[in-house]
Amino acid sequence: MKVLRLHGVRDLRLHDEPEPAPGPGEVLLQVTAVGVCASDLHWLSEGGIGDTRLTKPLVLGHEFAGVIDGGERHGQRAAVDPAIACGTCEFCLEGNLNLCSNLRFAGHAVEDGAMREFMAWPASALYDLPDSWSDAEGAMLEPLGVAIHAVDLGYLQAGMTIGVFGCGPIGLLVLQVARAAGATRLIATDKLLHRLEAARSLGATHSFQVNSGLKVSDVVAATGGRGVDVAFEVAGENEAVEAAVASTKPGGRVVLVGIPADDRTAFAASVARRKQLTIKLSRRMKRTYPRAMRLVDSRLVDVRSLVTHRFPLTRFDQAFSAAQKREGFKVMIEP
């Protein structure tokens, strides 16, 4: 089978390898769709992400769907949760599976991901896809789960005003989930016009392009002068972090979702302190797939329109190039 492995910074190579043999509780999955995530781009350009570095040639890809090959569910199309928690550590027992001490996560550290033709994965992590869904939509449940978890951390209430600072695929999903949660004023910012156009089509009531710098006063003015109740930073850039902090009302909340390239986040402490902001950092997701599927099924969230590029595995270089150039929105590799 064809397998794409990252050997070092900007060093992706296609290999021929034998199909994996499923272990206890696992099934063989023929991978049909894998999203290229911003975290995959970190691995490619930095040889790691945050303080986790590449220690062996790694198969990337954690947003994926496929077809079960063999067993009782043979032929069933499924979306796949890339996170396998141990279920027994302190943090799992507290209900924080995303903080598991022994977490296995596809395409991260030493755990190979889905940019290959076949993989073995626990059957319990596979969610059957309706016939009306495409495999790419199934793969989009992972970024949607990230958005759901971020909105959960914001403790939204009906009628709130929210700001989304960065409107890539996850930012646009945060916007939609916040709207479904009852936010009535939704402010979007980004550097790219096509992202702001998408944000408006998906529910943003106000949008601002970030050129030489975002005028926070414009964002605050759009809220009636009070500031946003909850700000979501989804750009992975410190400029967006600072804008989110400055745009939030006294007593409000800021949820940091983006991953900075230099593994550092900074903001004016005096501004955050005087407003007594609650600042939360979001870590992936937990138990979100059933909710994500209901949101898509009920058409409260549109994931289909966010998939704008599709490439076979053999054209991985073009897929990663399109993602790095921020062309369209979600780039899918279809092994």
At 213 the pLDDT is 67
User: pLDDT for 217-259, tens place per residue?
Assistant: 999 999 999 999 999 999 999 999 999 999 999 999 999 999 9
At 77-119, the pLDDT tens digits run 999 999 999 999 999 999 999 999 999 999 999 999 999 999 9
Question: What does the pLDDT look like over 9-29, one tens digit per residue?
Answer: 999 999 999 999 999 999 999
Distance CA 121, CA 69 (A): 11
Kindly report, residue by residue over 288-313, the tens digit of the pLDDT.
Answer: 999 999 999 999 999 999 999 999 99
Domains of the chain: 2-140+303-334 (3.90.180.10), 147-281 (3.40.50.720)
Closest CA to 63 of 114, 6, 130: 114
Whole-number Å distance between alpha carbons of 284 and 49: 14
CB atoms under 10 Å from CB of 334, counted, come to: 16
Tell me what pLDDT residue 215 has. Answer: 84
User: Does the structure show a pLDDT above 80 at 214?
Assistant: no
Q: What is the pLDDT of residues 32-65, one digit of tens each?
A: 999 999 999 999 999 999 999 999 999 999 999 9
Residue 68: φ, ψ to 5°: -70, 130
pLDDT at 143 (0 to 100): 98
Using pLDDT thresholds of 50, 70 and 90, give the confidence band for residue 212: low
Q: Which amino acid is at 201?
A: S
The pLDDT mean for the chain works out to 96
Contact 7, 24 (CB under 8 A): no
Give residue for tokens 């090959």. Answer: 69
pLDDT on residue 330: 98
